[in-house]
Amino acid sequence: MGNNNTARQTGAKGAPAVSATPTAEVEKRAADAGVVSPDRNTPEETPIPEPAPLSPLPEKDAAPAPASSDAEGVPADDSVIVIAAYPGTKDLLQALWQKAAPGHCTLVFVDDAPFAKQFPALIADASIPDEFVFVPANCAPVAPVDFADLAQLKVYVRKDGSRHYAERLPMLLNKVALVELCGTMQEDADNETLVADYAKEYRRGVRATEVSHDFGNFVTLVLRSNPCENVVIAGLCQRKFIAASAEGWNAVSPLLTKIRS
């Protein structure tokens, strides 16, 4: 799909690949908003299979329902996790996700891009269903995770108390909501603005789970090329995810390589 280099893999329990496609309403809303696949010029050039009924657009007072209501967060068999990767990092990232991802999920890997470009590409990708989990680059599980870890609304709290929704954390997304968001966004909208607006409009009423470097055991952020090794090792031993910038990923890759098998 365009420049996205997608690769499908199954989760820990080896579920089959998903054949779900965006429905007619998603296609219509995408066309109305000017969001089209870079690989096709007009919808008529690529006939679309007869669609299944689309789940209604989530109310702006409520979150889109997760793929499963199971109390333990076990996803439905057709749950899809879309994982973005920096250039040259997919193999290690893929190995870590295959080891730790919840079973009965399909993993789809795409190239990293700003969300203003990434979201329209995901909408237009017919292999991705109307509801999916998106994992920004580069976020790797370093312990077994369940679907609730991925789907819950999260906000990262920095030392100064500021709250950020786009800190490389997994998020549950709905294509119909994304079409509306992309249809109104500014061309130069940054990642934080887009994810914060999505949470405000389409997960309104959901109280975000606070995560931080300073408390909890959810994530360790690695943003520098020379991180404190003790902090990284503590994250590997105690937390669920390591999320890194491109420079930080290069620094922690040797340690991540040791735990991938």
Question: Which tens digits make up the pLDDT trace of 182-237?
Answer: 999 988 899 999 999 999 999 988 999 999 999 999 999 999 999 999 999 999 99
For 199, residues 6+ apart whose C-beta sits below 8 A from its C-beta are 153, 155, 165, 206, 208
Against a cut of 0.85, is the pTM above it?
A: no
Q: Looking at 70-84, 99-113, 122-136, which range is the least confident one?
A: 70-84
Give the integer Cα–Cα distance in Å for 247 and 47.
Answer: 43
pLDDT at 21 over 50: no
User: Which DSSP state fits 63?
Assistant: P
- What confidence score (pLDDT) does residue 120 get? 96
- What confidence score (pLDDT) does residue 173 get? 97
Give the integer Cα–Cα distance in Å for 101 and 9.
Answer: 11
Give the integer Cα–Cα distance in Å for 21 and 18.
Answer: 9
Share of the chain above pLDDT 90, in %: 64
Residue that wins the pLDDT comparison between 169 and 79 = 169
- What confidence score (pLDDT) does residue 79 get? 87
- What confidence score (pLDDT) does residue 260 get? 79
Residue that wins the pLDDT comparison between 22 and 137 = 137
Average pLDDT over residues 35-49: 42
Q: Looking at 83-92, 103-112, 173-182, which range is the least confident one?
A: 103-112
Q: What are the angstrom distances between the C-alpha of 110 and each of 2, 33, 46, 59, 219? A: 11, 23, 22, 29, 22
Of the pLDDT bands very low, low, confident and very high (cuts 50, 70, 90), residue 103 is: confident
Beta strand ranges found along the chain (DSSP E): 7-10, 79-85, 105-111, 131-135, 139-141, 154-157, 163-164, 171-174, 209-211, 219-222, 241-244
Residue that wins the pLDDT comparison between 33 and 144 = 144
Residue that wins the pLDDT comparison between 94 and 59 = 94
Burial letters 147-181, b for 16+ CB under 10 A, else e: bbbbbbbbbbbeeeeeebbbbbbbbbbbbbbbbbb
Residue linked to tokens 């973005």: 84
- The pLDDT mean for the chain works out to 80
